[in-house]
Amino acid sequence: MCKIAFLYPGQGAQQAGMGADFYENGSLAKSFLDKAEGCLDFHLKEVCFRKDERLNKTEYTQPAMVSVCLAMTLELTARGVKPDITAGLSLGEYAAVAAAGAFNSLDAVRLARKRGILMQNTVPEGEGGMCAILGMETEAAEKILREMEGVSIANYNCPGQIVITGKKESVKAAAERLKTAGAKRTVPLNVSGPFHSPLLVPAGEELKKEIEKISVHPLEVPYVANVTAEKVENADRICGLLSRGVSSPVRWQQSMEYMIADGVDTFVEIGPGRTLTGFLKKINKEVSVYHISTWDDMENIGCRLC
């Protein structure tokens, strides 16, 4: 039997219209998205299903993504496809924790809304920035960044791709230096803040207070945490790991390598876009990777995996 991991993408994968076909075709998805909208202070379906500029604004993006990913998961698991382990990139970790059984799904949506607001507003817009660094050895980039102030690594995505974060001018200077040192490309990211940088420690502290207000249940299956790139089986660790995750690097490549070493051979990316599928193909070409972003994807893949 295969060992299945459910993977959830983070902010940046959102797409206009995401989840609309699940809402139209799936009673479980429809019911959940209606309930999710009811626990939020904005019209979720307007943001997700139409072309709406709010979809790319962090405070709306985050609950929208978690809602859609969990609606898709409900329909997939109802067809008999269950994960042995889960993981999510940055924001996707909230869907992963819910899919692993520790969060009520609506609590995960509420937390994503709080997280989005905190991440958007902790550092004034324009003061922070992020930039993807492509085609450079990670160790070489780390060595250069250790010599610079106000900038650090936000994401270890896959071989040859990291993301840096921090004060806007520091990120710009670091990108230029890394390009000179051999990076093939540097791509500034259109984001509203310096995500996963020490500048967001206050946001993590406030988020921890919000997590402490909800019920955290024993995990039904383990998940792999971004902060440690290791399996979490004790639900008592979740609050600390998620609050640290706001200001700590996302160790995605290391997380995938850990899961593969742990015997995972089948990965299912659930959510809009194919970001995680692309990363996995660069990390390990031997594992099986499936992607679900549409109703047809879900029906076709569900039949093959159950």
Would you name the residues annotated as active-site residues? 90, 196
DSSP codes joined into one string, 187-199: EE---SS-TTSGG
Phi, psi of 305 (to 5 degrees): -100, -25
| Nearest one of 34, 39, 35 to 114, comparing CA atoms | 39
Q: How far is CA 191 from CA 102, 198, 235, 292, in A?
A: 29, 16, 31, 25
Cα R_g (the chain), whole angstroms: 18
In angstroms, rounded to a whole number, what is the distance separating the alpha carbons of residues 238 and 242?
A: 6
Beta strand spans in the chain (E): 4-8, 85-88, 128-134, 151-158, 161-167, 185-188, 223-224, 231-232, 266-270, 288-292
